[in-house]
Every structure is written in structure tokens, then in C-alpha cells.
Amino acid sequence: MPRWGMVVDTRRCIGCQACTIACKTENDVPLGVWRTQVRFYEKGTYPLVRRHFLPLLCDHCDEAPCVEASENNGVGSFYKTKDGVVLIDYKKLEGRTKKQIETETQAAIEACPLEAIFMNPMTMMPEKCTYCYHRVSEGLVPACVQTCLGRSRVFGDLSDPNSPVSKLIATNATRTLMPADDGGGAGGHYITLEGGLLDYGALEGGRQIDPKDFEEGKLSMTTGPAMKGHGAKKHGRKK
């Protein structure tokens, strides 16, 4: 049985966001939320400035805190497959009230320090990265890996010492995003991860949006995630 995982070589990431777009296209992810993304921060003083990129997605933990939170606050719709992928069983949510779904989803969201879980503003159902499990089950790699221009993302079987991911881990110093005392082992491993990005406070500002923002008109699904009052301005011709 494989243990699916991903190695992200941050040295090769150019911040093009091709992975984010591929993920949204493959999984029909609405505007304002994401299953994977690339965050960044700049370090240095002009002209010696460098931008550091952090491709971010679910870590698919061995002891996923979202699974435990889901079980303790609902019907346990979050679960882990035998090959190491954390998924959501939507059949368990059938027939449940909006409030019950929100309670279980919110518990899972709060349990994840990576903010990798969100409520889909269109379906009002929980969502997260699945490693494109529908593709992996057919022998394909996740959409983000397929489209990565810099070959920053490599996907494979962590339990196979001869797999590309295992060889990368064996020949490079890697780190995981999940804290050592939360989640156990992880499916995601990072090469040359800038230390500042491991400070979870530094990740603030890229949080998933609140679905109520759509209801209140702060965000639009038709014109993109433009904040209300800050969209394109109409310029009239001066007389």
C-alpha cells in the first residue's frame, strides 16, 4: 500500500500561480477560496531584496487534527484513506442541517493550523486539497504537480525508497509545515523552506474568505474577488 505524499522544492518555485489556477480548474474551486495557493513575503532592503515563495496545501497528516475535530463535533465526515490522503465523505453530510454542517466544518477549520480547509461559498460544503485523489486513483499526478512550470512540486509514494519523492527526501534537508506536536507525520515535505515562513503569524493575511462576504456583497463571484467599493472605476470623457 503506497503512502502518497509531495515534496515541494521552494528553490524552484517562481510564484507563477499556475498550480493555483490548475487546481481551481480541475476541482471547480470558486473565487475567493482555494485548495492550494502560493504565499510570499519579501526580505531585505532595496536594492538587495528577495521574494520568498511558499506553495501551501493540506499536509495530509498521519494523525490529522481535522479528522479528530470532525469526529468530536459531528459525524466524522473527514477521514484518512489507507494510502495516506485526508478526504471528506460527503455522503455522511447528506440530510444534515446547515447548522450541523457548519459546526463540523468550523471545528475542522479551527483544528488545522495551515488553514487548509474552507467552506465552499457556492455549495456550503467543506472543501480541502485531496491530492486530486480522482486523478491519483487513475495513475495520474495531482493537477498542481502536472502544471508546475518550475518542477517545484513532485508527487509519489513515500513508502517506496526508490520513488522520486523518497530520493529527494533522502538527499535533501526537508521540513514539514505541521508542528511536531500536532498531526504526527506529514505527507508534505519542503526543501529549503525559509525559516520565517514557519512562523504561523507570518501566514496571516492570506486566510480563506468568509462565505458571508458574498451574501453581504463584499465579494463578487461574477467579477472576481474585488472588494466592494474598490472595483474598476468608470472614467467619463471630460467636456
User: Which stretches of 68-224 are assigned E, i.e. beta strand?
Assistant: 78-80, 86-88, 117-119, 126-128, 153-157, 174-175, 188-191
In this structure, are residues 98 and 16 in contact, taking their beta carbons and an 8 Å threshold?
no
Distance between CA atoms of residues 228 and 217, nearest Å: 7
User: Do strands 188-191 and 4-9 pair parallel, antiparallel, or not at all (unpaired)?
Assistant: parallel
| Structural element, H or E, at residue 225 | none
Average pLDDT, the chain: 83
| pLDDT per position as a tens digit, 137-149 | 999 999 999 999 9
Cα–Cα nearest to 211, from 65, 58, 109 = 109
Quickly tell me which residue has 501551501 as its cell. Answer: 56
So what's the pLDDT on residue 114? Answer: 84
In this structure, are residues 130 and 87 in contact, taking their beta carbons and an 8 Å threshold?
yes
Confidence band of 223 (pLDDT split at 50, 70, 90): very low
pLDDT at 236 over 80: no
Quickly tell me which residue has 472595483 as its cell. Answer: 231
Lowest-confidence segment of 46-50, 107-111, 153-157 by average pLDDT: 46-50
pLDDT at 238 over 80: no
The answer for residues whose C-beta is within 8 angstroms of residue 198's C-beta and 6 or more apart is: 175, 177
Fold observed for domain 4-215? Alpha-Beta Plaits (3.30.70)
Q: Is the model more confident about 195 or about 178? A: 178
pLDDT at 234 over 70: no
Q: Is the peptide bond before 30 cis (omega within 30 degrees of 0)?
A: no
Chain-centroid distance, C-alpha 165: 19
All cell numbers assigned to 96: 444534515
All cell numbers assigned to 168: 529527494
Chain-centroid distance, C-alpha 74: 23
Query: Would you kindly state where each structural domain of the chain is located, as residue ranges?
Result: 4-215
Q: Is 100 helix (H, G, I), strand (E, B) or coil?
A: helix
What's the chain's Rg over C-alpha atoms?
19
In this structure, are residues 178 and 56 in contact, taking their beta carbons and an 8 Å threshold?
no
All cell numbers assigned to 152: 517545484
Confidence band of 100 (pLDDT split at 50, 70, 90): very high
